[in-house]
Structure 1
């Protein structure tokens, strides 16, 4: 059944990743990285359903070739810890066919990313036919109208005037200097170092010891980048994804919806239904009764009853204020019924957890989760061993260095893929953390015993 899953990541050199490698991995293609001279070949990788590059109007048309796009990104980022791309991993509704999911993604990416000025590279994967999901790779640096890159952050000089400190960019300082603002530099004052303006230092005869003026630690962020990086924008994208999926489901006359909020945030006190799965749904279509579908029907009926009782309580509570004794008695009777209904819901929850169906539902999830966890641990160990091997390899052996770098980038992308899969399984198991999954596994073992 349709579930909500949207995971946000950042592809950065600091974490050992490259934008070229990430794009080649998700698109199952062969790409050469001009920055480090590594050839990434993932043409044998399985599970690719669809891939596409979408560009804003100001982007050069040659960037429709993803290799040129991400090499342009790599070329423009100079530092060893540069943030190269933003990545989203989203779960696609299993109820929709391939064309509907492609249309859903294209529309969402165009409205939420491309129209904001980002270049988008996306691919749909489904390795087992039951887990369709998409990887969306986005540029993080805004573009000018002529297709050149804008700055991410701009240096801010901390200047002084009449004892007040204020920050200015290089272009702003030209005007500020005419108004009396001065840059501050490091001067030697006795045995100490202090930031002073040139005019003050010259009066006292201090010696400047650094040519760089005082500036803010991180500089001033590009306002467009600041918006893209904000928590508020991420919340908007998460909500927009839920809306886009729900509209597509409704357009295809599918009776299902998703919500990006947790049950607590939604203010829902009703009992959630359990995951039915395609096997149970196929049984129902053939006229057979599936246990988990039957449980969900009971849960929905009880939730409906609880909603009706709550509505009656609200109406009668208003009337009680007028001190009508008979209504007060009716209210008390309904309150008693509500307590019984809530107890019945609690009983259903307990029953859901102890019957064989509960175990059948969580057994495959836990098995896949444990397998993914073991693979992830092995890949992390493999990456550590490769790094050790790389450190021990002489710089006089460049061929071996290139080979090890290729292996490292491949392992790093495999680790990111496994992390995404693990998080999706945690969500599917209605958990939040690895600790929750450990507790669920213990609970399963107790019930199995």
Structure 2
């Protein structure tokens, strides 16, 4: 089914990643990184369904080649911990096909990113086996663009200037105007053994010596307002909502698809359940199946079943002792046995449906659990391998340039593999509504407990089936004793009792199931018992026919309509 998953990341050199490597990985292509001289080749990677580069009108046309685009990004960023790109990983609804995915992503990217001036590099991955985990990677440029296609600054130096005891921040362009209005930059001056910031005019009056040439400024500078908005939590929430909206719109194009996604948290939707499978989704699923959510509740249910069986057996014994040759007693005994059979048939049907739903659920989640376990192991192994390669690289003399470069390529490949695995891991956690590994462990335990619950339901079904067979046998034995009685009168008496007995059966089941009592299942149980007993629609007795005709004979016939003069 369609799930909501949108994971936001930042590709930065500080985390050991490069934009070129990430782009080559998501597009399964080969790109050379001019910044560090590493050739990234992922042409043998499988699972690529579709890839595209989207550019705003002000971007250079050459950037439609992803190698040129991301090398331009790498060239413009100078520091060793630069933020190079923003990445979104989104889950694609399995109800849609390849063409729908392309249309969905194109609309989302054009309306939310390209329209804002970002360049976007997107790829759809559908790892083996096809349809198992379709998702898309969207890489976005972080710096805004100028009208001439040049990069804008992320942040700008902001000098803290003073005037008449007040302090205010100005950029270089702003300071040219502020300086004419009497604002001065502040520098460090030696005041005894201390370094104190003050304006040059004040320091000169007191004869202080300047300690260095750097003016006082804010720690991080002034952020570009466009970048500031893109980096805000509020904007991320908007993008998350937009993804849900556009996905639901594309799903709604197909009337046969009723799946929808929701970007909001459980708390935002007014749900009390925690967003973990073992206490939220999983428990709700089991309740929707008509069974309880854990092993203790199953045991309590079985105790209630056993109590019902004891009650039914006691009833049968009492009937067997009380039955004589009188028609009312025989009719009551037969209808009471029939009532018991309806109750037993309902319980058996309910258990079988619950077993089928649990079986379907386990079949659906077991591959997810197995894949998640595999991914955890793969991440562990690749982390170990990457650590070993980095240690080998650090211990290698710098003169071995080629060896260094090969090790760097291997580390970059492992880093991108790890990012892909982490994204898939996050997506699987989201599909199971688990917040972390601890929640997954509880979920895995709950899935294992379902096997125990299936065994308990199997035992309960066997008990009810055996009791149903015994009740049917008693019914057949009792039928043999009615050979000498008036069949018509016996049938009439039984029909008079039947409605009350069926209501009694329904009442018993409603007490057991409460709001989960199913009227359709009750109707079906009656039909099954009717077939089991070989009941056919019998003709009513003469007494019943007379009783039915009597009201009709007493009804007054409508007066004969007189002919009007104009009808003659």
Which SS does the other structure have where 2:252 is aligned? helix
CA contact (8 A) 1:354 1:447 kept: no
Rounded to whole Å, the distance in 2 between the matches of 1:298 and 1:106 is 42
Residue in structure 2 matched with residue 443 of structure 1 by the alignment:
446
CA shift, 1:435, in A, is 1.5
Rounded to whole Å, the distance in 2 between the matches of 1:298 and 1:265 is 27
Residue in structure 1 matched with residue 37 of structure 2 by the alignment:
37
Mean CA deviation greater in 358-367 or 240-249: 358-367
Residue in structure 1 matched with residue 89 of structure 2 by the alignment:
89
Residue in structure 2 matched with residue 258 of structure 1 by the alignment:
261
Which SS does the other structure have where 1:265 is aligned? coil
Residue in structure 2 matched with residue 55 of structure 1 by the alignment:
55
Rounded to whole Å, the distance in 2 between the matches of 1:189 and 1:241 is 58
In structure 2, which of residues 388, 405, 420 is the aligned counterpart of residue 385 of structure 1?
388
CA contact (8 A) 2:289 2:357 kept: no
**Larger Rg, first or second structure (1 or 2):** 2
Residue in structure 1 matched with residue 426 of structure 2 by the alignment:
423
Which SS does the other structure have where 1:264 is aligned? coil
Distance 1:162 1:152, change over 3 A: same
Task: Say if 2:238 is the partner of 1:240.
Answer: no
CA shift, 1:189, in A, is 1.2
CA shift, 1:298, in A, is 6.5
Rounded to whole Å, the distance in 1 between the matches of 2:259 and 2:64 is 35
Which SS does the other structure have where 2:239 is aligned? helix
Rounded to whole Å, the distance in 2 between the matches of 1:205 and 1:216 is 27
CA contact (8 A) 2:358 2:450 kept: no
Rounded to whole Å, the distance in 1 between the matches of 2:252 and 2:35 is 46
- The number of equivalent residue pairs is 382
Distance 1:360 1:143, change over 3 A: same
Which SS does the other structure have where 1:259 is aligned? coil
Rounded to whole Å, the distance in 1 between the matches of 2:237 and 2:273 is 25
In structure 2, which of residues 171, 174, 181 is the aligned counterpart of residue 172 of structure 1?
174
Residue in structure 1 matched with residue 217 of structure 2 by the alignment:
215
CA shift, 1:203, in A, is 1.3
Residue in structure 1 matched with residue 377 of structure 2 by the alignment:
374
Rounded to whole Å, the distance in 2 between the matches of 1:237 and 1:42 is 30
Residue in structure 1 matched with residue 535 of structure 2 by the alignment:
none
Which SS does the other structure have where 1:159 is aligned? strand
* 1:262-341 superposed matches below 5 A: 262-268=265-271
TM score, norm. by length of structure 2: 0.64
Residue in structure 1 matched with residue 150 of structure 2 by the alignment:
148
Distance 1:179 1:369, change over 3 A: same
CA contact (8 A) 1:85 1:139 kept: yes
CA shift, 1:266, in A, is 1.1
Distance 1:201 1:236, change over 3 A: same
CA contact (8 A) 1:372 1:422 kept: yes
CA shift, 1:444, in A, is 3.5
Instruction: Please provide the CA RMSD for this pair.
Output: 2.5
CA shift, 1:10, in A, is 0.2
Q: Structure 2: any 5+ residue segments left out of the alignment?
A: 278-283, 292-349, 453-568
Distance 1:15 1:154, change over 3 A: same
TM score, norm. by length of structure 1: 0.81
Deviation track 1:20-41 (CA, whole Å, cap 9, x = no partner) reads 0000000000000000000000
Deviation track 1:250-296 (CA, whole Å, cap 9, x = no partner) reads 11332221111123211246999x9xxxxxxxxxxxxxxxxx99986
CA shift, 1:196, in A, is 1.3
Which SS does the other structure have where 1:150 is aligned? coil
Distance 1:111 1:427, change over 3 A: same
Rounded to whole Å, the distance in 2 between the matches of 1:423 and 1:269 is 23
Task: Say if 2:12 is the partner of 1:5.
Answer: no
Rounded to whole Å, the distance in 2 between the matches of 1:207 and 1:243 is 63
CA contact (8 A) 1:12 1:81 kept: yes
Rounded to whole Å, the distance in 1 between the matches of 2:447 and 2:269 is 28
